[in-house]
């Protein structure tokens, strides 16, 4: 029963083309019929060679009727020819079936991978926060393959069942008694194998978990190579890696051992059975030719019997991976943000936060509490506040990476969920503290902001971001490969490339979240001047810890512990002797102390 439920879920998840199942099973059935027919042809062949006289039985009149038009002296040659043709046809059908199965395998895995990837990038769940980055890589790279393997196994299971059925039918035609005896014997053997391998699904689930741990170890070690070397923790990391890898090896070995059990057990059982049948055949009085055909059928039944049992164990072993993909697709399906059909128009008046509260998870405190303010169009708004005040959360809500827990964010009076999500996000461009660059050329990384932009626009964006000079000084200029996460250029250079990418996007609303924290003083000042020109008549929202970078803003929002505590133009806030002016004094004092 559990197998049926599991198979139904597997078919739903794999969503193979409608023709796939019937084709694979149909071809499998045809191969079984061809093979069975070939084996049954041994009866008239042996009889024609005089090895056994014709015996009364269900099949004898049938042979007599089919073979009567063939002249007697051609009969042996005809039967040998028919036998060869059936074997050739059976193998051709078998080969075709293998090709079809491989094609479906690849197609299903490819579609599933694409679906998992699509949902990963479209869902609003942030897996870096959920601590599941490496899990997703295992799900996409490993487990989607395993679902397609599971589907092939399910087809194989059905084909084996059909082959088994065809062979048993032919055996019944030869002798009901011997067939009945054989089936009871095989049933006991199958039950013994099932008992010995009943832990396959538990082991399969453990393999999935161990694989995820293994993925995590690999990911973390490769990403923190410098840290490991700097802290001289090579042997600690080596031990951790070896232990994790060894756990995967042991689980896989256990699964392989379980999988290998049915082969020898079924072969030994059938050999014992053949011996027993030879001993009791005399009482069944079916004749040498029929007995030879019966035993050949029984011997060939070994393959499907073994495969039936192995497919079942292998399917149990894949259950963990199938569950993983199924669960992943279900969880990433629901948390899409609701969206309207309206394309977001250019911002005319303002973006407004109205009584916004936000918490990252139900069991966590509010990250934003009753936050209300307005970001006027065409002006620069700076958000300042101590670490953890909620500045990045405001940015994330503006971008609609998530929605407020209560309250609303409106653009020109329209709640953001009224707009089609992508069209709203296309109006914005974000440059955050965390810079991510692709392993590609500098030009390709900047062009990511707008693939339609020409060379001139690309260079203009680089000039504004103060990146053009250093890029041109590199031997390969804009065509320089920057390596994984831009590791071949410095932190400040990475930041300037990312800024150029943001600027190339030419957004209505430019969001800069600590965008200049890796720039040296001179470059930052030059960047500020260029940015001022660039932001003329553009809506800019800046987050900065260094107040020097926000002096030129039209409005400053001061946040503390998730609340807005001050709003106003910088000069007014400075005069007010409030939180902002204290911050200002503190930073100036610190600068002065640093200067001394
Ligand atoms: N993904 C997250 N999951 C849970 N809590 C979070 C998450 N991100 C931020 N927080 C919490 O929300 C609050 C606001 O964080 P936020 O990152 O918005 O502050 P910030 O002002 O940008 O800080 P910083 O200047 O240090 O970047 C903090 O208490 C923080 O711990």
Is 317 or 365 the better-scoring residue by pLDDT? Answer: 365
Q: Give the tens place of pLDDT for each residue, 536-566.
A: 778 999 887 777 667 778 899 999 999 999 8
Report the pLDDT averaged over residues 155-173: 86
Distances (CA, A) of 376 to 182, 282, 514, 531, 596: 85, 100, 20, 18, 40
Q: Say if residue 127's pLDDT is above 60.
A: no
The alpha helices in 41-175, defined as continuous H runs, are 42-48, 59-67, 75-122, 133-138, 144-174
Average pLDDT of the chain, as a whole number: 83
The per-residue pLDDT for 367 is: 92
Most confident of the ranges 199-208, 237-246, 330-339, 516-525: 237-246
Q: Give the tens place of pLDDT for each residue, 79-88.
A: 888 888 988 9
CATH topology agreement for domains 2-197+261-333 and 434-506: no
Query: What is the C-alpha to C-alpha distance for residues 437 and 498, in angstroms, rounded to an integer?
Result: 7
Asked which of 57-71, 86-100, 175-189, 231-245 is least confident by mean pLDDT, the reply is 57-71
The per-residue pLDDT for 201 is: 78
Q: What percent of the chain has pLDDT over 90?
A: 18
Q: Is 591 in the pocket of ligand 1 (CB under 6 A)?
A: no
Which residues contact residue 585 at a Cβ distance below 8 angstroms, ignoring those fewer than 6 apart? none
Report the pLDDT averaged over residues 332-340: 72
Confidence of residue 334 (pLDDT cuts 50, 70, 90): low
Q: Say if residue 430's pLDDT is above 70.
A: yes
Report the pLDDT averaged over residues 170-183: 86
The per-residue pLDDT for 507 is: 85
Question: What are φ and ψ of residue 233, in 5° steps?
Answer: -105, 25
Query: What is the C-alpha to C-alpha distance for residues 535 and 553, in angstroms, rounded to an integer?
Result: 11
Confidence of residue 416 (pLDDT cuts 50, 70, 90): very high
Beta bridge partner(s), residue 429: 510
Q: What percent of the chain has pLDDT over 70?
A: 90
Q: Is 320 in the pocket of ligand 1 (CB under 6 A)?
A: no
Q: Is 131 in the pocket of ligand 1 (CB under 6 A)?
A: no
The per-residue pLDDT for 1 is: 58
Confidence of residue 527 (pLDDT cuts 50, 70, 90): low
ipTM of the predicted assembly exceeds 0.95: yes
The per-residue pLDDT for 104 is: 92
Confidence of residue 198 (pLDDT cuts 50, 70, 90): confident
Report the pLDDT averaged over residues 576-593: 68
Q: Please list, residue by residue across 180-203, b when 16 or more beta carbons sit within 10 angstroms of its beta carbon and e when fewer do.
A: ebbeebbeebbeebeeebeebbeb
The single-letter DSSP state of residue 351 is: E
Atom 6 of ligand 1, nearest CA residue = 360
Confidence of residue 132 (pLDDT cuts 50, 70, 90): low
The rounded Å distance from CA 220 to ligand 1 centre is 23
Q: Is 367 in the pocket of ligand 1 (CB under 6 A)?
A: yes
Query: What is the C-alpha to C-alpha distance for residues 394 and 384, in angstroms, rounded to an integer?
Result: 11
Q: Say if residue 347's pLDDT is above 50.
A: yes
Q: Give the tens place of pLDDT for each residue, 353-396.
A: 999 999 988 888 999 999 999 999 999 999 988 888 899 899 98
Confidence of residue 266 (pLDDT cuts 50, 70, 90): confident
The rounded Å distance from CA 405 to ligand 1 centre is 15
Q: Give the tens place of pLDDT for each residue, 57-116.
A: 666 677 777 777 777 777 788 888 888 898 899 899 989 998 999 999 899 999 999 988
Query: What is the C-alpha to C-alpha distance for residues 270 and 282, in angstroms, rounded to an integer?
Result: 19
Q: Is 90 in the pocket of ligand 1 (CB under 6 A)?
A: no
Is 350 or 138 the better-scoring residue by pLDDT? Answer: 350
**In this structure, which topology does domain 349-427+511-519+535-596 adopt according to CATH?**
Rossmann fold (3.40.50)
The per-residue pLDDT for 48 is: 75
Asked which of 58-67, 171-180, 184-193 is least confident by mean pLDDT, the reply is 58-67
pTM value?
0.72
The rounded Å distance from CA 538 to ligand 1 centre is 27
Beta bridge partner(s), residue 210: none
Query: What ligand 1 atom has the least distance to the C-alpha of 559?
Result: 21
Q: Is 509 in the pocket of ligand 1 (CB under 6 A)?
A: no
Q: Say if residue 595's pLDDT is above 50.
A: no
The per-residue pLDDT for 406 is: 92
Q: Is 129 in the pocket of ligand 1 (CB under 6 A)?
A: yes
Give which of 387, 412, 421, 369 is closest to 513, Cα–Cα.
387
Residue ranges covered by each domain of the chain: 2-197+261-333, 349-427+511-519+535-596, 434-506
3-state helix vs strand vs coil in the chain, percent to 5: 65, 10, 25
Atom 3 of ligand 1, nearest CA residue = 360
Chain mean position to CA 249: 22
Q: Give the tens place of pLDDT for each residue, 294-315.
A: 888 888 887 888 888 888 888 8
The per-residue pLDDT for 163 is: 85
CATH architecture of 434-506: 3-Layer(aba) Sandwich (3.40)
Instruction: Say if CB 98 and CB 28 are below 8 A apart.
Output: no
**In this structure, which topology does domain 2-197+261-333 adopt according to CATH?**
ABC transporter transmembrane region fold (1.20.1560)
Is 139 or 97 the better-scoring residue by pLDDT? Answer: 97
Q: Say if residue 588's pLDDT is above 80.
A: no
Distances (CA, A) of 57 to 42, 76, 180, 530: 15, 21, 17, 99
The per-residue pLDDT for 465 is: 83
Instruction: Say if CB 496 and CB 466 are below 8 A apart.
Output: yes
The per-residue pLDDT for 592 is: 42
Q: Which of 364, 391, 546, 560 to mutate to test the pocket of ligand 1 (most atoms within 8 A of CB)?
A: 391
Instruction: Say if CB 444 and CB 476 are below 8 A apart.
Output: no
Q: Which of 364, 367, 542, 562 to mutate to test the pocket of ligand 1 (most atoms within 8 A of CB)?
A: 367
Report the pLDDT averaged over residues 420-438: 85
Helix (H) or strand (E) holding 243: helix 234-260
Confidence of residue 408 (pLDDT cuts 50, 70, 90): very high
């Amino acid at each position: 029963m559990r197998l049926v439920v599991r198979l139904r879920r597997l078919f739903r998840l794999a969503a193979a083309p409608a023709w796939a199942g019937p084709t694979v099973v149909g071809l499998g059935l045809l191969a079984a019929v061809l093979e069975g027919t070939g084996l049954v042809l041994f009866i008239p062949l042996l009889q024609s060679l005089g090895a056994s006289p014709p015996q009364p039985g269900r099949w004898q009149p049938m042979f007599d009727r089919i073979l009567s038009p063939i002249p007697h002296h051609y009969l042996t040659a005809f039967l040998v020819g028919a036998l060869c043709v059936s074997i050739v046809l059976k193998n051709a059908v078998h080969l075709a079936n293998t090709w079809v199965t491989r094609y479906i395998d690849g197609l299903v895995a490819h579609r599933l991978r694409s679906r998992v990837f699509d949902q990963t990038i479209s869902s609003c769940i942030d897996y870096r926060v959920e601590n599941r980055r490496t899990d997703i890589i295992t799900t996409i790279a490993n487990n989607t393959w395993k679902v397609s393997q599971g589907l092939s196994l399910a087809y194989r299971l059905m084909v084996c069942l059909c082959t088994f059925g065809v062979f048993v039918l032919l055996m019944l035609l030869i002798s009901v008694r011997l067939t009945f005896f054989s089936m009871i014997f095989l049933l006991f053997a199958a039950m013994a194998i099932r008992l010995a391998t009943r832990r396959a699904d538990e082991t399969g689930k453990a393999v999935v978990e161990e694989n995820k741990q293994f993925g995590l170890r690999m990911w973390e070690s490769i990403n923190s190579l410098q840290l490991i070397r700097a802290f001289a923790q090579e042997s600690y990391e080596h031990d951790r890696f070896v232990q994790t890898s060894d756990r995967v090896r042991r689980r896989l070995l256990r699964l392989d051992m379980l999988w290998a059990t049915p082969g020898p057990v079924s072969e030994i059982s059938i050999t014992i059975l053949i011996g027993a049948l030879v001993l009791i055949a005399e009482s069944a009085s079916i004749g040498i030719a029929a007995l030879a055909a019966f035993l050949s059928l029984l011997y060939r039944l070994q393959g499907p019997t073994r495969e039936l049992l192995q497919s079942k164990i292998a399917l149990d072993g894949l259950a963990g991976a199938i569950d993983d993909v199924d669960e992943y697709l279900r969880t990433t399906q629901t948390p899409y943000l609701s969206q309207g059909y309206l394309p977001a128009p250019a911002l005319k008046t303002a973006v407004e936060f109205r009584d916004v509260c936000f918490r990252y998870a139900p069991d966590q405190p509010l990250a934003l509490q009753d936050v209300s303010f307005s970001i006027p169009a065409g002006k620069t708004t700076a958000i300042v506040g101590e670490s953890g005040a909620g500045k990045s959360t405001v940015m994330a809500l503006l971008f609609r990476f998530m929605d407020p827990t209560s309250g609303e964010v409106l653009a020109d009076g329209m709640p953001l969920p009224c707009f089609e999500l992508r069209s709203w996000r296309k109006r914005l461009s974000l440059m955050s503290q965390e810079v991510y660059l692709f392993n590609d050329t500098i030009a390709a990384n900047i062009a990511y902001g707008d693939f339609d932009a020409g060379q001139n626009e690309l260079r203009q964006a680089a000039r504004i971001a103060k990146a053009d000079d250093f890029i041109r000084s590199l031997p390969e200029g804009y065509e320089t490969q920057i390596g994984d996460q831009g590791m071949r250029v410095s932190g400040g250079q990475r930041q300037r490339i990312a800024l150029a990418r943001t600027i190339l996007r030419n957004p209505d609303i430019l969001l800069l979240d600590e965008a200049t924290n890796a720039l040296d003083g001179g470059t930052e000042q030059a960047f500020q001047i260029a940015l001022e020109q660039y932001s003329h008549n553009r809506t800019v929202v800046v987050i900065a810890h260094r107040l020097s970078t926000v002096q030129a803003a039209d409005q400053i929002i001061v946040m503390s512990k998730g609340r807005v505590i001050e709003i106003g133009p910088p000069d007014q806030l400075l005069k007010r002797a409030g939180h902002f002016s204290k911050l200002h004094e503190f930073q100036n004092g610190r600068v002065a102390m640093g200067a001394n």
